[in-house]
């Protein structure tokens, strides 16, 4: 008996998984770009906003 040949569906499955992963990453990046363009600035996530004087984590604004 010679060396066992790999079953034909294994490489195809790996290729399909790679194709799906690339497609998924591309679609996700595209959706994020569309959302960033569509959302008004006040709806951007808090982590992406510049810190302001009235930011709760910095306490109340100082009076001067």
> Given this model, what pLDDT does residue 12 score?
62
Task: Say how far apart CA 38 and CA 44 lie, in whole Å.
Answer: 10
**Predicted model pTM:** 0.40
10-residue averages of pLDDT along the chain (64 residues): 61 77 93 82 60 58 60
Provide the residue ranges of all domains of the chain, joining segments of one domain with +.
Answer: 9-45
Q: Is the Cβ–Cβ distance between 51 and 58 less than 8 Å? A: yes
Q: What is the 3-state secondary structure (H, E, C) of the chain?
A: CCCCCCCCHHHHHHHHHHHHHHHHHHHHHHHHHHHHHHCCHHHCCHHHCCCCCCCHHHCCCCCC
């Amino acid at each position: 008996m010679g060396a066992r040949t790999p079953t034909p569906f294994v490489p195809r499955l790996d290729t399909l998984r790679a194709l799906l992963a690339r497609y998924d990453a591309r679609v996700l990046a595209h959706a994020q770009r569309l959302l960033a363009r569509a959302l008004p600035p006040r709806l951007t996530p808090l982590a992406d906003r510049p810190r302001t004087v009235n930011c709760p984590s910095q306490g109340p604004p100082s009076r001067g």
